[in-house]
Amino acid sequence: MTVAVSPNGRWLAAGVNSQNAAVVWDVTSGRLTRLPVNYPLHLAFSPDGGWLVTGSQGDYRFWGVDSWQEGLKFSRRRLESLPGPLAFSRDGRLLALVPSLQQVQLLNPATGRVLATLDSPDPRVIRALSFSPDGAFLAVATEHQAIQLWDLRYLQEELTRRGLGW
């Protein structure tokens, strides 16, 4: 089971295998909402609390917390053996997704625009993602206890210098 808590503490989301769904509890009222997603999955609330993003074996879906209606949806390149890890930068301006087991995409969560694709220098199955508090680095945890650290400021500077910046 995976869980996530919204930044304001109002929502608690969990992936539930027996229901093949994400279940969201309104902590203040106790009301339950079931989101139709495939289990297993990863969950994360956007830093502003407006979205819950689910990452399953086949896709990533954005769910608006005001209505629980589906918003943006990104298919993974194929049905993967593992659910899709994801992470928001602290300021909410970047979202890291794993479209395939050895690749990370950075996108603007407000528009869905893909900003960069990071191909692993040492292809290993990606298990988890995390941004540094200042958003300058992206840590990518892979199988066999390997960690890849991406310097996003340097990457953006190089892309900008070549006229390709995000």
Q: Are 54 and 16 in contact (CB under 8 A)?
A: no
CA distances from 72 to 51, 108, 113, 165 (A): 10, 11, 11, 23
The sign one gets for the Cα dihedral 152, 129, 82, 79 is: negative
Q: Domain with 116 in it: what CATH number? A: 2.40.10
Q: Based on the fold, state whether residues 90 and 128 are members of the same structural domain.
A: yes
Q: Are 105 and 111 in contact (CB under 8 A)?
A: no
Q: Indicate the residue among 19, 48, 77 that finishes a domain.
A: 77
Q: How high is the pLDDT of residue 145?
A: 84
The domain containing residue 95 runs over which residues?
85-166
Q: Based on the fold, state whether residues 40 and 7 are members of the same structural domain.
A: yes
Instruction: Look at residue 18 and tell me whether its pLDDT is greater than 70.
Output: no
Q: Indicate the residue among 28, 60, 77 that finishes a domain.
A: 77
Q: How high is the pLDDT of residue 110?
A: 93
Q: How high is the pLDDT of residue 16?
A: 77
Domains held by the chain: number: 2
CA distances from 45 to 13, 50, 74 (A): 9, 8, 16
Q: What is the pTM of this model?
A: 0.90
**Residue range 40-63: average pLDDT?**
94
Q: What is the pLDDT of residues 113-131, one digit of tens each?
A: 999 999 887 778 899 999 9
Q: How high is the pLDDT of residue 64?
A: 97
What's the number of CA atoms in the CB half-sphere (13 Å) around residue 118? 25
